[in-house]
Structure 1
Amino acid sequence: MQTYDRRYIAEWFSAGNQMCPQTQQVLLNTTLIPNLLIRSLIAEWCTENGFALSPLENQEEDHICNSEQRTFDEIFNKITSSSNSTERKQAIKGLRLLTKRSSEFRAVLEERPDSISQMTFARFSNPGLQNDPQVVEDMVTIILNFSLHDSNKKIIGDDPEAIPFLIWALKSGDMGSRSNSAAAIFTLSALDSNKEKIGELGAIEPLIDLLEHGSIIAKKDAASAIFNLCMLHENRSIATRSGIVDVAIRAIGDQSLVEEFLAILALLSSNYDMVELMIEFGGATCMLQAMRESECKRSKENAAVVLFSICMYNRAKLKEIEADENTNGSLASLAQNGTPRARRKAAAILEMMKKTKTMHMHNRHSSC
């Protein structure tokens, strides 16, 4: 376990990074856990060396919080109560800008946990807002901005309207709304409880559609969201039924978001049924191509992980892999120069090929 300054590691994850800055390993869970031991050691050192945390800092934070709450209440009253659609739209836009610029402002949701439900109700109850694509995008982005604040993730997940609204926007919004909805789902899925709700409510299929047909930014947001959601075993089955394997293998063959798709397939490759689908869609050939052509060590590693699973579940594929290895030597190269995990997987595949070849030779001699 690595320890980081909370503010900076939270910004690292909020930017879409899914790996540890120190070890570069893909993280199974990006939920932040306070290091109470380090905190107590720092407090002890401060006491022994005559330093103290100024209580004025906490008072200043409380003052800022109260100021933000007043501003929030003023804007939110316009969103929910104004009879003027233009004023409501301006208030929604203002809330979007404030939640983007101010991390302190995002914390207001802790004191106003039902705000998202009220905001979505205000939209649906006003014909001037209901079908306005800019209002939809602004509201989706407000939820995204709020979700960047760690303690808000559970609040938003528990809100009965928030995730359904994001999924509706993911299906029906313009590209900006769909992309930001995918980004919000990604940040919310840091919590396992949210992963389950998001999967059950039907987000995975429209995410895969966005992954296939969206803009490049939208595709990256969708890929990050799907990867996080597939940390939960139940969501892997949903993703597979929704066509993720076919979409991923075709995209890798087209050199599109190769790193992201290989990470998703590596995550899925522990399941027999999913590996069978990978084989059906030409996964072995695709992984060999990725190992040859990718310049990213992590992509080569994930390709080796998938290829190893293919060999474990279907030994008949070893002949095809051996033919490619005799021509290109990709596995031998990876066994020497890859990441530690890639070296293990590549060496294991080479060993399987060697054993299979020895067994065939023994069978031929025995038959004579």
Structure 2
Amino acid sequence: MEHHHNSCFTYLDDSSAFSYCNSDRSGEFQTTSPESLRRRIFLSCTNDNSSDDLIRYLVTHLESSSSSSIEEQKQAAMEIRILSKNKAENRIKLAKAGAITPLVSLISSSDPQLQEHGVTVVLNLSLCDENKEMIVSSGAIKPLVNALRLGTPTTKENAACALLRLSQSEGNKTAIGRSGAIPL
């Protein structure tokens, strides 16, 4: 296996900010769709190229369009949430596959479940320092602050943790401070 030096892998060994956020309880979800279960089994048994194909498939279903119903969006977002939870490589792959922009859009969703999935996956992706700049440049700070203000308890907790992670990059501190996050 090729060795990649990336801060996502080393950060996972730390017991710092993320460990006390309790960020992602996605393991509690039961996926009832037989297609979803087949995809999850497929992912766990396949090589990297096949998992890349699945990630691209799920990312295309995140986007709101006439071809994706809200239920398909929720299913894709939940599966991406699960994929991003424990595997550092998936966090990088998801960012490279273009997941960040549609996930940031989900943070502003009026559907509480879609919003929670969006916030939580953005938090999970922010565990990799390589992804932080893409998350911020995709406009995530203001939607995260709104989710911190108006979301469900889990959404609020995960939005706060995502902002904490993003604030660990020096250039983001001012933007987060100006966004109204500090009083919240």
- Of structures 1 and 2, the larger Rg is shown by 1
Distance 1:27 1:122, change over 3 A: closer
- Name the amino acid aligned to 1:151: E
Query: 3-state DSSP class of the match of 2:123?
Result: helix
Q: Judge conservation of contact 1:175–1:215 (CA < 8 Å) in 2.
A: yes
Please name the residue that 1:140 is paired with. 77
Distance 1:28 1:142, change over 3 A: closer
Shift of 1:133: 2.3
Within a 5 Å distance, the mapping from 1:212-227 to structure 2 comes to 212-227=149-164
Please name the residue that 2:92 is paired with. 154
Shift of 1:217: 1.4
Identify which of structures 1 and 2 has the higher relative contact order when contacts are C-alpha pairs closer than 8 Å and 6+ apart: 2
- Name the amino acid aligned to 1:115: L
Please name the residue that 1:278 is paired with. none
Please name the residue that 2:105 is paired with. 168
Provide TM-score, normalisation by structure 1. 0.38
Give the number of the structure whose residues are more often helix, by fraction: 1
Within a 5 Å distance, the mapping from 1:149-298 to structure 2 comes to 149-160=87-98, 162-247=99-184
Shift of 1:153: 1.2
Please name the residue that 2:54 is paired with. 115
Aligned residues: 161
- Name the amino acid aligned to 1:194: N
For structure 2, which runs of at least 5 residues remain unmatched after alignment? 1-8, 20-31
Q: Distance in 1 between matches of 2:108 and 2:90?
A: 24
Q: Distance in 1 between matches of 2:162 and 2:171?
A: 15
Deviations 1:299-326 (A, max 9, x none): xxxxxxxxxxxxxxxxxxxxxxxxxxxx
Distance 1:240 1:151, change over 3 A: same
Q: Judge conservation of contact 2:63–2:102 (CA < 8 Å) in 1.
A: no
Shift of 1:190: 1.1
Please name the residue that 2:3 is paired with. none
Q: Judge conservation of contact 1:109–1:146 (CA < 8 Å) in 2.
A: no
Deviations 1:28-47 (A, max 9, x none): 89xxxxxxxxxxxxxxxxxx
Please name the residue that 2:22 is paired with. none
1:105 maps to which of 43, 56, 61: 43
Shift of 1:121: 3.7
Distance 1:107 1:189, change over 3 A: farther
Q: Distance in 2 between matches of 1:125 and 1:224?
A: 26
Q: Distance in 1 between matches of 2:93 and 2:125?
A: 10
Distance 1:124 1:109, change over 3 A: farther
For structure 1, which runs of at least 5 residues remain unmatched after alignment? 1-9, 21-25, 30-91, 248-368
Shift of 1:188: 1.1
Shift of 1:150: 2.0
